[in-house]
Amino acid sequence: MHGTRATNATLLTGLCAGVAVVHDCDLAVCAPFPYLGQVSACLHGSGISWGAQDVSKHEQGAFTGEVSPAMLNDFGCQWALVGHSERRAFHGESDQLVAEKAAAALKAGITPVVCVGETRAEQEAGLTTEVISRQLAPVLALGAESLAKMVLAYEPVWAIGTGLTATPQQAQDVHAFIRSQLSGLGVPQVRVLYGGSVKASNALSLFAMSDIDGALVGGASLVAEEFLRIAAA
């Protein structure tokens, strides 16, 4: 929940000015709902796509404050984050709700970026794969055809905004586990992103891992130069 029209304009202008040096990489900006129109206009023609930070599971109706997938699609939205750790922690979103949001986004032609990840306590207790399995279960239950149209993101909660980052090998181990789950359903090609204090200084070592396909960038995305350096990596 960052941004004003003025700071957004500076950030987006910087991204558009520098994106020409980034090759073989899909870039997207996921912004708060009030600014999606500004983001769409500023990024038009830049090669950078845009998306929302959340989406409702409902198509329409008496759900005050919710934003439906159809509404986002109406404006050309391509992506929607679902199940971000902050939504799970602060809004009590269940694994099942996250899967329902992903399914609703797909139905409207929007690509859901489904986030999973464990807390520090869970990680220290050796429960990482157990937690990831539980969170993924209702998403995997949607089937291979749906999964093939999604992006997954592993975001260890203990590494978000803490300055801590999973080592490349720690991240790779979890990504490999997620990949094995996808392979079991015949969709190993689904992109799996890493999110957890990704910055320019550690991006290259993370992306060198065989099962890390990209990044879900947090705080570093608020500085155009830093985001573009991650993209270049």
Q: What positions carry a catalytic annotation?
A: 84, 155
Q: Residue 117's CB: how many other CB atoms inside 10 A?
A: 27
Tell me: is residue 47 an annotated ligand-binding position. Answer: no
> For residues 209 and 31, what is the distance between their CA atoms, to the nearest angstrom?
28
Is 210 annotated as ligand-binding?
A: no
155 within 8 A of 113, measured Cβ to Cβ:
no
Structure tokens at 123: 């990680």
Q: Do the annotations mark residue 218 as ligand-binding?
A: yes
214 known ligand binder: no
Q: 3-class secondary structure for the chain?
A: CCCCHHHHHHHHHHHHHHHHHCCCCCCEEEECHHHHHHHHHHHCCCCCEEEECCCCCCCCCCCCCCCCHHHHHHCCCCEEEECCHHHHHHHCCCHHHHHHHHHHHHHCCCEEEEEECCCHHHHHCCCHHHHHHHHHHHHHCCCHHHHCCCEEEECCHHHCCCCCCCCHHHHHHHHHHHHHHHHHCCCCCCEEEECCCCCHHHHHHHHCCCCCCEECCCHHHHCHHHHHHHHHC
For the annotated binding site for substrate, the residues are 161, 197, 218-219
- Annotated binding residues, as ranges? 161, 197, 218-219
